[in-house]
Structure 1
C-alpha cells in the first residue's frame, strides 16, 4: 500500500508542491528516504521513529520507502518530519489515507512526539489556500498560518493530539489570527539638536524613499538621525505587511504569528559577510537586505564594510530584488529597501578640525573614502554633511517640531505619489518619470548647466529628478521648478574631475 501526503519545498518566497509517498513492502526491515533530500531530511527517520515509539507504536518489520516527489527538486529543512510520519501512519493503517489527502502538512517532530516550529509556515498556508486544501502545522504557528485567507488550519501540539483530531475523537480548536502590532514609537526628532540641513535631508529621504548618506565626525548624531527615520515613515499597508511577514516567515523570525505595521529597520555590523548581507548559505536564507524589504537598511561606518560586500548591494538597490545563485538552487528574494548610510570623513574622524585631525590629513580622507566605490555612491540620492554639535547646541531647549509634524508632511507627500501608481518617487521610471518629474524651463536650464558642471551620470541625472519631484511634493507644487532642482542638486555628490 502507498500513502500520499502533501507538503511543500521552499524556493525563496515560493512554496512548491511536494508529495510524500510512503510504501510498505515485504523484505528486510529498512527505512529509507529518497528524493534529493538534504541531511536534515535524511535525519527525519530517527526523529519519526522516536516520536512513534513515544506513542507506543513500533515500525512494522518491512521495507519502508519514503519518496519525496518530484525527485529532482532539492528538499531542505526539518518541516518534512510531520508529513513523513503521517504518510507512514497512513501506510500502516493507523490513520485514514483519504483523510490525509485533504491537507498540506509541515512541522518538525521532537523525540517525544511534540510538533516543533519550522520556518515558512505562512508560505505553506498561502499554498494550501491556492490548492484549496487545509494546513496541518505546529500549534505555535497556528496564528501565523491563519493570516492566509480561506484556509482551514489544524495547529497540533503533538502527534497524539493530531491523530485524535484526524480520527474525530477529540477536535483541536481552530487558531485565531495573530495580532497586528501598531507601529512602535522610536526616537523622536526633538532629540536632535541643531542639524537642520541633515533633518531636512532626512525628511526628503522619507517622503520619496530615497537613499541617504550622512558624512560627519564622530558624535555628530548620524546614528540618532538614522534611528529617527522609521518614526517619520508611513506605516506598512496590509499588503505590504504581508510581504514583509512572508520574508520573516522564511527566515524563522515571525514570532507568535504577529504581523507588524512597523517598517523593518536593519543595522548589520560592518563585519557582515556577503552571504549575511545579500542572502545565501547552505539553505539560501534571506540576508539583511531582504529582511529590510520595504523598510530601512542602515549601514553605519560605511567604509569599514568590505568593498566586495558593499558592491554586492549595487544590483539589489537598482532592481529591488536579490538573486542568489548556487550550484543546487537559484533563489530570488525581494529587496526593495531604503539605504541609509553613515561615515566619518576620514579614519580619525576629525578632518575639518586642525586641533584633532591626524598628521596624514587630508590624504587620509581620500584613502578612507575611496573604500566605497563610485558606482555604489552613485546609487545614493542624497549626500549630506553633518556638522559637529557643540556644547552650546546641546544646552538649547528641544526644537518645537518633532517626528509627528514631519511624519504628517511625509504622509501627505506619499499620498500624492500613490496617485501616480507608485509607493514612492524612488520607483518613478520611464514614461512616469518623464510625465511627472520634468522641470519647467528655468529648472531645465539649471539642470543642463549642472549636469555638465557636476558630470552627472545617466543614473545620477535620473535620481536627481526623482529627488526634485519629492521636494516639489513636500512644497505642494504640481510642477518641478528651478528652486526644487537647485535644492536637489545641493544634495548630489559631485564626481571628481580627472
Structure 2
C-alpha cells in the first residue's frame, strides 16, 4: 500500500514542499529510504521504530520503501521523522490515510515518541498556506509562530500519539489561535536620557534612525560611543507587520526564535565580537544558514571597535550593504538571504585613542595613525552615510542636573519622519525608508533647488567625494528635511548632511 504525506525543506528563508511516499509491500524484509536524504534523515528509521514501539505497535517486517520527492533537493535534519512515521503507520493500516493529503507535517521524534522543535516553522506555514493545505501539524513549541499565517489551521502536538489520534478521530485537536504581540508597546531597559551631554551625537543617531542610514562613531575611549550605540534601538520605529514577518522567518530558520514566540516584536540589535569569521557574519556553511547581517534584517548591526575586525570580514559586507541581500553560492545551488540592516560602527581615531583629542596628547606617530585608519577600507567607509565625531563629555554635563531627552520623545519624531517616507514610497515594494532608495528613485524624490545644488557641488569638489558619497548626502539631506517637516530640501538640510562626511576630509585619512 502506498501512502503520501507532506513535509517541508528550508532553502534560505523559504520553504519547499516535500512529498514523502511510503510503500509497504509483502515482498522482502528491508527498509529503504531514497530521495537524497542526509545522514540525519537516514537515521530516522531507528528513532521512528523506537517511537512506534513505545505506542504498542511494531515497524513493518516487510519491504518498506520511503521516497522523498523531489529527489534533486537534499533533505537534511531530523524534522522529517513525524511525516515518515505517520506515513509508515498509514501504509501499515494502523491509522486511516485518507486525510493525509490535506495536511503538512514536520517534527523530530525522540525515542519515546515525544515531538521535538523544528526550525523554520513560519516559512513552512507560509508555504503550506500558498499551496492550499488545510492545516499544519508541528511541535507545540513552534505552534504560535506558525499560527500567524491565516486561514491555515495550525495544530501543536507534543507526542506522536496525539497525531495518531488526530487522524483517527477528527476534531480531537483544536487549532492554535494566533496571538499577535503588541509591536507598538515594546519596552527597553536602556534610554537616551541616561546619556549626559553628547547632543550632537544624539542628533546624528536620530537622523540615522529616521532614514535607516548607516553611521560610524569616531572618538576617544570613554566618550560614550558604545553607550550611545546600545540605545539606538530605543528610538527606532516599531516593526510593521510585514517587517516582523520577514524578520521572524530569518530568526526561525536560524533557530534563534524564543520558544512559544509568535513574532519578533523588537527590531534586532546584533553586536558580534571582533573575532567573528566572515562565514558567521554573512552566512554560509555546508548547510547554508543566515549570518549576523541577516539576523540584523530590519534592525541594527553594531560593530564595536571596527578596526579590530579582520579586513577580510569587513570587506564581505560591501556588496550586502548595497544590495540589501547576500547570495551564498555553492556548486549545485545559490541561496539568497535578506540583509536589509542598519550598520552602526564605532572606532578610536588611532591606536592610543587620543588623535584629535582637545586636551590629551596623542602618543602615536603619523604612520601608526594612518596604518590604524587603513584597517578600514575607503570603499567600506564610502558606504557609511554618517561619519560622526564623538568628543569627550564635559565635566559640567556629567555633574549637571539638566534633564536629558527621553528616547520616547525622540522616537516620536523618528516615527513621524518614517510615516512621511512610507507615504512617499507606498507604491514601491521593499522600500521603507530613504536609505533604501536606488539612484534612479533618488533623482525623482530628492530634487534640489539651485542654491542647494551649488552647495553640494562645492562640497564634492573640495572634499573630492565619490559618486556614492554624493548619493549618500542626498539621502541624508532628504531625511533631515523629513524630520523638519519640509517637503523640499533646503540649504540648512544639505549643509548638515555634508558635515557628516568627516572621514572624507583631509587630515583624517
Q: TM-score, normalised to structure 2's length?
A: 0.94
Query: Which residue is 1:99 aligned to?
Result: 99
Query: Which residue is 1:388 aligned to?
Result: 392
CA contact (8 A) 1:209 1:426 kept: yes
Measure the CA separation in 2 of the matches of 1:352 and 1:153.
Answer: 60
1:373 corresponds to 2:373: no
The number of aligned residues is: 498
SS in 2 for 1:426: helix
- CA change 1:172–1:118 in 2 (3 A) is same
Query: Which residue is 2:151 aligned to?
Result: 150
The Cα shift of 1:39 comes to 1.9
Query: Which residue is 1:315 aligned to?
Result: 319
Q: CA offsets, 1:190-213, max 9 Å, x none?
A: 111121221111111011111000
Query: Which residue is 1:429 aligned to?
Result: 438
The Cα shift of 1:167 comes to 0.4
Query: Which residue is 1:397 aligned to?
Result: 401
Out of 225, 232, 254, the position equivalent to 2:228 is 225
Q: CA offsets, 1:226-260, max 9 Å, x none?
A: 11111111101112111111111111222213323
Q: What residue ranges of structure 2 are gaps of 5+ in the alignment?
A: 426-430
Query: Which residue is 2:81 aligned to?
Result: 81
Query: Which residue is 1:494 aligned to?
Result: 504
Query: Which residue is 2:345 aligned to?
Result: 341
CA contact (8 A) 2:192 2:404 kept: no
1:456 corresponds to 2:457: no
CA contact (8 A) 1:179 1:257 kept: no
Query: Which residue is 2:428 aligned to?
Result: none
1:480 corresponds to 2:489: yes
The Cα shift of 1:397 comes to 2.0
RMSD (Å), alpha carbons: 1.9
Measure the CA separation in 2 of the matches of 1:472 and 1:169.
Answer: 60
Taking the TM superposition and a 5 Å limit, the aligned residue runs for 1:352-363 are: 352-353=356-357, 359-363=363-367
- CA change 1:326–1:178 in 2 (3 A) is farther
CA contact (8 A) 2:4 2:22 kept: yes
Measure the CA separation in 2 of the matches of 1:60 and 1:420.
Answer: 63
1:113 corresponds to 2:113: yes
Out of 478, 490, 493, the position equivalent to 1:469 is 478
Query: Which residue is 2:305 aligned to?
Result: 301
Q: What residue ranges of structure 1 are gaps of 5+ in the alignment?
A: none
SS in 2 for 1:260: coil
Query: Which residue is 1:203 aligned to?
Result: 206
Q: CA offsets, 1:92-124, max 9 Å, x none?
A: 111222211111111110110000110011111
Measure the CA separation in 2 of the matches of 1:19 and 1:365.
Answer: 60
The Cα shift of 1:344 comes to 1.0
Taking the TM superposition and a 5 Å limit, the aligned residue runs for 1:101-180 are: 101-133=101-133, 134-168=135-169, 171-180=172-181
Measure the CA separation in 1 of the matches of 2:343 and 2:14.
Answer: 26
Measure the CA separation in 2 of the matches of 1:333 and 1:413.
Answer: 28
The Cα shift of 1:26 comes to 3.8
- CA change 1:40–1:356 in 2 (3 A) is farther
Query: Which residue is 2:420 aligned to?
Result: 416
Query: Which residue is 1:216 aligned to?
Result: 219
Measure the CA separation in 1 of the matches of 2:164 and 2:158.
Answer: 11
CA contact (8 A) 2:148 2:180 kept: no
Out of 283, 293, 316, the position equivalent to 1:289 is 293
The Cα shift of 1:55 comes to 1.2
Measure the CA separation in 1 of the matches of 2:248 and 2:301.
Answer: 17
Out of 235, 243, 250, the position equivalent to 1:247 is 250
Greater mean deviation of Cα atoms: 413-422 or 296-305: 413-422
CA contact (8 A) 2:22 2:66 kept: yes
Taking the TM superposition and a 5 Å limit, the aligned residue runs for 1:272-287 are: 272-287=276-291
CA contact (8 A) 1:110 1:116 kept: yes
The Cα shift of 1:486 comes to 1.1
1:46 corresponds to 2:46: yes
Measure the CA separation in 1 of the matches of 2:373 and 2:403.
Answer: 33
Measure the CA separation in 2 of the matches of 1:246 and 1:441.
Answer: 46
SS in 1 for 2:217: strand
Measure the CA separation in 2 of the matches of 1:210 and 1:56.
Answer: 60
Q: CA offsets, 1:329-373, max 9 Å, x none?
A: 421111111110011112222224598666433332211111111
SS in 1 for 2:284: coil
The Cα shift of 1:496 comes to 5.5
SS in 2 for 1:213: strand
